[in-house]
Amino acid sequence: MTRVLILLVSVLLFCNLLAGEAKPLAQDPVLEGRLKTLSQELRCLVCQNQTLSESNAPLAEDLRNEIRQQMREGKSNQEVIDYLVARYGDFVRYRPPLKESTWLLWFGPFIGIIAGAGLLFITLKKRASNQEFEAEDI
């Protein structure tokens, strides 16, 4: 029994010695930093509610590899974003730009809140006038 425990402990220690630190996917840490910054601004096309850096989807990994490749070719962050927007549309941006086609996206919630508040005000006013009318009848 003791021999088995000693063997098990020695195997675990040996495996621990062989284990190393995980290497970054790119040999260039500056490139990885740029990738991380840029992928936090882009949306995963599969998950849709996660940034590209948060997603574990295979398509997200493919897009990160594509971004790495373009960065190795010397493209700027804006050139990479422009390429992805041309390919996938403004949806690929996690924060779409304010332009005519995205007005409803940006201002729709505010319009909904104002419309809901107006509807609530009208409903409460009608209810108050009906209660006054019923009180006069009594």
Residue pLDDT, tens place only, 72-110: 999 999 999 999 999 988 888 888 888 888 788 789 999
Residue type, 32: E
d(CA 66, CA 106): 29
Q: What is the mean pLDDT of the chain?
A: 83
CB atoms within 10 A of CB 84: 22
Q: Residue 73 corresponds to which tokens in the numbers above?
A: 């070719």
- What is the CATH superfamily name and number for domain 24-97? Cytochrome C biogenesis protein (1.10.8.640)
Cα first-last separation, the chain? 94
d(CA 83, CA 70): 10
**Residues 24-79: tens digit of each pLDDT:** 455 778 888 899 999 999 998 888 788 998 988 999 999 999 999 999 999 999 99
